[in-house]
Amino acid sequence: MTEQRALGVAVIGMGWMGAVHARAYSRLRQHYPDAALVPRLITVADDVPGRAAQAAAQYGARCAYEDWRAVLDDPEVEAVSVTVPNFLHTEIGSAVLNAGKHLWIEKPVGLSASDAQAVAQAAATADRQTAVGFNYRHAPAVAAARQIVADGRIGTPTHARFRLFSDYAAHPDGALSWRYSRARGGNGVLGDLASHGADLVRYLLGDIAAVVADTATFVGQRPTPTAATSGHQLATGGVPGPVENEDYAGVLLRLASGARCVLETSRVAVGEQNSYGFEIHGTAGLVRWDYRRMGELELTGSAGGPAEPSPGYQDEPVSAVFVGPGAGDYGSFQPGAANPMSYDDLKVIEAQRFLTSIHTGEPVGATIADAVYAARVLDAITGSAATGAWVAVDG
């Protein structure tokens, strides 16, 4: 067995996502028994009274703080997860890096590309490793789809559709949390869901050259909560306040390869719960994935066969294929195809890649550079929605 060293970690922000990070750290050794670094949760922080202390007791942290700055003064902490609201990403993420600690931060990393770039600059100056929460790229079936595209099994990609639909904001009594404020939540569904879409498009198909977009807000007011919120709670009876950012975005993308793409996102899609996925068409085949059937791909016969595409182009049958231990990190979780994996499993993969990058000194998985790129795509989408014109993606 590989010689192992304990790595002191901390989590800042103990809402739902902070708990996901804490669980991912605790499970890493179970799924990666030969990992060189084994995380040990030293402390957690959250400014909601009592939340950090409760989380520390639940996840076995040595201590808890209400002021996140205390985490940075703890000499046992070498790496920090930041899972706070978007408007705090830049300040806290940069402070973590400036304190000489490695950073795992949730997307979108701030409110704009300039925010994400500030964190990237802090990482470069501090020479610390980073990881960003683009978890859907870590699904083993997505890894398999990427390889299928790269191997030419669908021919040359021509056009694709990516969707991220959810109903978490569909109820008009959904609490007017930070998510709906321009100054605190940024550009709404763009930062929340379209950031994942931008990352998946680039991960699977390469750089995005230009976009044209339309956005809309369909629920214009929401009730103000009377206490701290976590997740997507209702606040029936609260004083109404304005929703300042986007519920929906529809985007056309031109890729650097010449392929075309549609990216559509909604947080108010009644009847859709975590309906995320993509379909990629090529000159000789199709590959399709639905997050809700995480371990399954739909493929044309040529895409599921040898690396050389078959000559079949018309009336091609589509088959469902379950990925197995040879796809991505599937084998670290399940012994055979069709055994289901979970959202939390994807975060364990993310944690493992973060710690691997710390051990090797080389980036592994999604990093702050990927967050900067996705943020530039979102900035271009926002600019296009304001003018109706095509906007080039910077960088």
360 to 35, 41, 154, 350: CA distances (angstroms): 12, 21, 35, 15
For 195-224, what is the mean pLDDT?
A: 97
92 to 113, 248, 320: CA distances (angstroms): 16, 28, 44
Q: How many CB atoms lie within 10 A of CB 287?
A: 28
Q: How many CB atoms lie within 10 A of CB 358?
A: 22
Instruction: Say what the pLDDT of residue 3 is.
Output: 82
Domains and CATH numbers, the chain: 5-135 (3.40.50.720), 137-342+366-387 (3.30.360.10)
- 211 pLDDT band, cuts 50/70/90, is very high
Reported as a single tens digit per residue, the pLDDT across 93-127 is 999 999 999 999 999 999 999 999 999 999 999 99
Residues of the chain with pLDDT > 90: what percent?
A: 91
Instruction: Say what the pLDDT of residue 228 is.
Output: 66
> Bigger pLDDT: 233 or 93?
93
What distance in Å separates the CA atoms of residue 233 and residue 299, rounded to the nearest whole number?
38
pLDDT of 262 strictly over 90:
yes
pLDDT of 285 strictly over 60:
yes
What distance in Å separates the CA atoms of residue 284 and residue 291, rounded to the nearest whole number?
24
Residue written as tokens 């996140």? 68
Identify the three-state secondary structure at position 201.
helix
Residue 285: CA count within 13 A, CB half-sphere? 29
pLDDT of 225 strictly over 90:
no
- 189 pLDDT band, cuts 50/70/90, is very high
Do residues 167 and 273 touch, judged by C-beta distance below 8 A?
yes
Kindly tell me the sign of the dihedral angle through the C-alpha atoms of 148, 144, 359, 84. positive
Reported as a single tens digit per residue, the pLDDT across 341-366 is 999 999 999 999 999 999 999 999 99
- 17 pLDDT band, cuts 50/70/90, is very high
How many H-runs (helices) and E-runs (strands) does the chain carry? Answer: 12, 17
pLDDT of 231 strictly over 70:
no
Instruction: Say what the pLDDT of residue 312 is.
Output: 60
The tokens for 120 are 């990237």
Instruction: Say what the pLDDT of residue 302 is.
Output: 66
CA angle 177, 178, 182 (to 5 degrees): 125
Reported as a single tens digit per residue, the pLDDT across 5-14 is 999 999 999 9
Q: How many CB atoms lie within 10 A of CB 380?
A: 25
Q: What is the pTM of this model?
A: 0.95
Instruction: Say what the pLDDT of residue 292 is.
Output: 97
- Residue 261's identity, in one-letter code, is C
Q: How does strand 63-65 pair with strand 37-45?
A: parallel
149: nearest Cα among 196, 200, 198, 193: 200
> Bigger pLDDT: 151 or 228?
151
What mean pLDDT value characterizes the chain?
95
85: nearest Cα among 179, 176, 207: 179
Residues of the chain with pLDDT > 70: what percent?
A: 95
